[in-house]
Amino acid sequence: MDKVILKDIEDAREVLRPVIKDTCLLKCHELSDLTGGNIYLKTENLQLTGSFKIRGAYNKIVNLSEDEKKAGVIASSAGNHAQGVALSATKLGIKSTIVMPRIAPLAKVAATINYGAEVVLHGSVYDDAFSKAKEIQSETGATFLHPFDDKYVIAGQGTIGLEILEQLEDVDVVLVPIGGGGILSGISTAIKAIKPSVKIIGVEAAHAACMKNAIEKGGVHTINTKGTIADGIAVRRAGDLTYEIIKKNVDELVTVTEEEIAKAILLLLEKNKIVAEGAGAVSVAALLNTELDLKGKNVVSVISGGNLDVNLMERIVNKALIGENRRYTLKVKLIDKSGEMAKLLGVISDMKANILTLNQTMYKNSLAIGEQEVKLTLETFDVEHTQKIVEKLKEEGYEILD
């Protein structure tokens, strides 16, 4: 098995220098206040194609033999590797075919086509697309580009680690998302080679924790995954090469819930004006749950991608707002008499809440003759504001129903 060393990453840096951006490192005051550390965001969501993946894809394609380039390239991807391969191949004048799972966000599918690739949709998860890509490869002779378990891909992603050390020399902790492990392998290899004292923490979605399972069981195996808004890291089997690197270099692996990921996306969008997809926001989700001791530490959280499907954005934001009690649904018992609804709405209006939905009914066995149930969804400032509204309604004599 090929090893990845610092020299490979430094070589990749030279290859990539005219092609990619050195993405900026931004201080996040909200997360710094929450954790007691100095939190910085490595904004790979602002990279070409909207994610870090172009680093590894371009480095891999440049290092193909001339015969391999002539045969064209094929890849499987949930979206970001697809775009990285498509743009890299187009820049280098090489034909590319990408197999994507049918659940891949439409925005990522459209972008991949626009970057010049032929797209094949197959299966419900990344691993299904991988199997189909290998099948097409055997039929066409195209060169398969693995999204994470490849020396040149890992080296390309590792250039992020070099940038972090240049941008924040006294960094103490780096949090990195994990799917198959390519970006974590690359960053950890670069940083541990130059500054081994830095603590490297990998973050997975709890619904697709293939690397954490591999480390715990002492070897790579296929796991059952659940649906996750972090679709870009929904991988059922970690890489063999990435497993060996992560086992050696990474200090800790943690998982985050769907609720924590949604809250991270909302925080980045609302407080930092950063659009992060689910996979890109997991490192911030790990900071939000405050289970890591980061007090006084200089911490970098890698935002690995920003290709968030706008059709999904409203649902994610809504879920996060509900989780924070900023969208709150309650049921109130009301006397079925003229003017009572206006009085109820007046109380809510005086409390500065916005009514998003309202439904009323008298067709329930639990209601007496002359009673109504009113169900309201309110938009509030925060949990405290929501509690004050409920308390005010009770003070005014309204019965809050279960």
Residues with a catalytic annotation lie at: 53, 304
- Helix ranges (DSSP H) in 36-181: 53-62, 66-70, 80-91, 106-114, 126-140, 151-167
Rounded Cα gap, residues 72 and 1, in angstroms: 24
Rounded Cα gap, residues 99 and 109, in angstroms: 10
Q: Are 86 and 98 in contact (CB under 8 A)?
A: yes
Closest to 50 in 3D by CA, of 18, 79, 27: 79
Rounded Cα gap, residues 80 and 61, in angstroms: 16
Q: Are 300 and 40 in contact (CB under 8 A)?
A: yes
Q: Are 42 and 160 in contact (CB under 8 A)?
A: yes
Rounded Cα gap, residues 103 and 360, in angstroms: 37
* Amino acid code (one letter) for 177: P
Rounded Cα gap, residues 273 and 275, in angstroms: 7
Tokens standing for residue 33: 């206040």
Length of the chain: 402
Strand order in the sheet with 327-335: 354-361, 371-379, 327-335, 399-401
Give exposure, 154-177, as e/b (b: 16+ Cβ within 10 Å): bbbbbbbbbbbbeebeebbbbbbb
- Give the number of other CB atoms < 10 A from CB of residue 125: 18
Indicate the burial class of 4 (C-beta count within 10 angstroms; 0-12, 13-18, 19 or more): buried
